């Protein structure tokens, strides 16, 4: 009888242990969120700019925990060899994990807690967050004066266009590793670095003139053209078009405009009698571009592409506000194939549709979409076209570009998405490489990637803020960001990623726009060209000193 009673008692005890009311069975639970450095982080997300020592991670569960049932083997920090301490956090449903070792600067880690029994709970899944430590704030190079730093950045970046130019034609390769592929627009920017290099003593005037003769021989001879316009990419040896996409295997009028802008600027720089052949060759190329033909049978808008076998299949109009202002300025300036002001007003300005007038960070933006897009809008057309004192019916272009740069800067300073590294001394969103490819970053398309060209090429518009960013890029991030051809294309501290790439169309504005901010060299050259002044007048622009 006693044995039967004892067995019954054991049975009751067993059943109670299987009953949640008995309090011993692990409850199915999940991780609600993590907290790192006072920030709430959802599972699967990133916590960035973290300290390398004393890091604490709080895990908040859906149900109360039993700290005495902690299984430390279920907690992992990938890439971390140090130890950690655990304690019970506030509220009864929180575990605090403190890393007692030191993490590496600017490195990505993963913190996770495994599915299964732990802390008196039955976790229904694996839960993790990504951790990214802050960059080592110490200077990586000795401090030098700001003027010396500006010259160093220009000189090092110029090497991309001098040392890494295609050996056969002298034009700029599209990017590091492009081999035969040269970029029409990037080459236009590269050409504009030659006067800078002469004036700053990087190469002699005769060396620069000889490079121009090589380039012009190729452009006027081997390089394939379509109604006078060049393709986006060219084979640097054969001169044949390299298709940019399936339907883009012919003329690219925007890339052509970037090239012609460069040619017209340097034609005014190489003004010695012995350089008359340079000016003559440039004039021949300039006069051959049939700008008016790209109105596609006389419509009041310019079209971006034309192909000999695909014709107008790309069907892309050049409408503002974007990088295309220089296309309309040059098309109106052509002495042989000009467009009318009606094409500019209807096609580019969309009869006033480019106007904005709204405020962002209390800054009035005259033209463009919200926040005005990537910074290259304020760079590419204005490598030679001088925005100082330039205005028309729609805007003052100095006000436009300063507002654009200021909005880009203020957005990064405010950092509404909480990206690692963004600050008043680390800013700049534009088109660049990103960890997963290439994109045009802007305040309305922010993927956490800073491109040095955005801030550095804004030197004429925001000299103090640009200089602050340049110092940060060089002194603080220089061990990863500075290389053979200056600043590498982009970086993201969210993922501790630094591009290995250099891209011609990003490197060129660094050299040229710094110089425009320092001396106005390229602006002064381009604006001396009589055809350009005539074209601006035709479009109703006012140009004041």
Torsion of CA 253, 259, 261, 264, to 10 degrees: -120
pLDDT in tens, 122-150: 999 999 999 999 999 999 999 999 999 99
Q: Which residues of the chain register pLDDT less than 50?
A: 1-23
CA 541, 188, 344 angle in degrees (round to 5)?
30
Q: Which residues pair with 350 in a beta bridge?
A: none
Cα–Cα distance, 407 to 413 (Å, whole number): 10
Cα–Cα distance, 462 to 473 (Å, whole number): 16
DSSP state letter for 361: T
Domain extents in the chain: 23-133, 146-543
- Classified as helix, coil or strand, 240 is coil
CA distances from 377 to 320, 403, 431, 457, 463 (A): 10, 12, 10, 11, 18
Q: Which residues pair with 345 in a beta bridge?
A: none
Cα–Cα distance, 301 to 303 (Å, whole number): 7
Question: What are the residue ranges of helices labelled H in 270-396?
Answer: 276-288, 325-333, 341-343
DSSP state letter for 19: S
CA distances from 512 to 188, 196, 541 (A): 11, 7, 24
The architecture (CATH level 2) of 23-133 comes to: Sandwich (2.60)
Backbone Cα Rg of the chain: 30
What is the topology classification, in CATH, of domain 146-543?
Answer: Glycosyltransferase (1.50.10)
pLDDT in tens, 445-499: 999 999 999 999 999 999 999 999 999 999 999 999 999 999 999 999 998 999 9
| pLDDT attached to residue 24 | 60
| pLDDT attached to residue 495 | 85
Cα–Cα distance, 243 to 310 (Å, whole number): 12
């Amino acid at each position: 009888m006693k044995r039967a009673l004892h067995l019954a008692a054991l049975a009751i005890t067993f059943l109670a242990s299987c009953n949640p009311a008995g309090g011993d069975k692990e409850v199915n639970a999940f991780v609600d969120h993590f907290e790192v450095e006072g920030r709430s982080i959802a599972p699967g997300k990133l916590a960035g700019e973290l300290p390398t020592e004393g890091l604490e991670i709080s895990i908040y569960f859906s149900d109360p925990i039993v700290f005495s049932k902690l299984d430390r083997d279920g907690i992992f920090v990938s890439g971390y060899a140090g130890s950690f301490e655990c304690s019970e956090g506030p509220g009864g449903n929180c575990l605090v994990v403190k890393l007692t070792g030191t993490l590496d600067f600017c490195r990505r880690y993963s913190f996770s807690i495994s599915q299964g029994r732990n802390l008196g709970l039955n976790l229904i899944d694996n839960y993790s967050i990504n951790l990214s430590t802050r960059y080592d704030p110490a200077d990586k190079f000795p401090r030098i004066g700001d003027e010396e730093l500006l010259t160093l950045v220009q000189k090092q970046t110029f090497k991309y266009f001098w040392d890494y130019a295609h050996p056969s034609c002298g034009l700029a390769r599209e990017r590091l590793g492009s081999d035969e592929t040269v970029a029409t627009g990037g080459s236009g920017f590269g050409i504009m670095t030659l006067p800078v290099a002469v004036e700053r003593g990087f190469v002699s005037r005769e060396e620069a003139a000889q490079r121009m003769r090589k380039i012009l021989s190729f452009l006027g001879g081997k390089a394939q053209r379509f109604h006078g316009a060049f393709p986006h990419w060219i084979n640097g040896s054969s001169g044949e078009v390299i298709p940019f996409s399936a339907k883009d295997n012919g003329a690219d009028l925007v890339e052509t405009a970037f090239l012609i802008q460069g040619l017209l600027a340097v034609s005014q720089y190489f003004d010695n009698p012995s350089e008359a052949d340079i000016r003559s060759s440039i004039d021949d190329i300039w006069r051959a571009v049939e700008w008016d033909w790209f109105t596609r049978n006389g419509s009041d808008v310019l079209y971006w592409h034309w192909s000999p076998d695909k014709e107008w299949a790309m069907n892309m109009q050049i409408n503002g506000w974007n990088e295309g202002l220089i296309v309309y300025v040059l098309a109106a300036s052509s002495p042989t194939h000009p467009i009318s002001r009606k094409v500019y007003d209807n096609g580019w300005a969309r009869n006033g549709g480019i106007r904005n007038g709204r405020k962002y960070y209390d800054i009035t933006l005259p033209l463009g979409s919200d926040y005005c897009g990537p910074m290259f809008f304020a760079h590419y057309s204005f490598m030679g076209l001088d925005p100082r004192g330039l205005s028309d019916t729609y805007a003052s272009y100095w006000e436009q570009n300063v507002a654009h740069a200021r909005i880009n800067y203020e957005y990064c300073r405010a950092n509404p998405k909480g990206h690692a590294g963004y600050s008043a001394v680390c800013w700049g969103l534009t088109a660049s490489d990103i960890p997963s490819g290439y994109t045009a970053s802007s305040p309305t398309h922010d993927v956490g990637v800073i491109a040095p060209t955005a801030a550095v090429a804004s030197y004429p518009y925001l000299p103090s803020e640009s200089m602050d960013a340049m110092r940060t890029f060089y002194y603080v991030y220089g061990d990863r960001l500075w290389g053979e051809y200056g600043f590498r294309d982009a970086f993201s501290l969210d993922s501790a990623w630094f591009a290995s790439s250099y891209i011609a169309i990003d490197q060129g504005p660094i050299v040229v726009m710094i110089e425009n901010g320092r001396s106005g060299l390229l602006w002064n050259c381009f604006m001396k060209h009589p055809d350009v002044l005539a074209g601006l007048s035709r479009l109703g622009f006012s140009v004041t000193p």
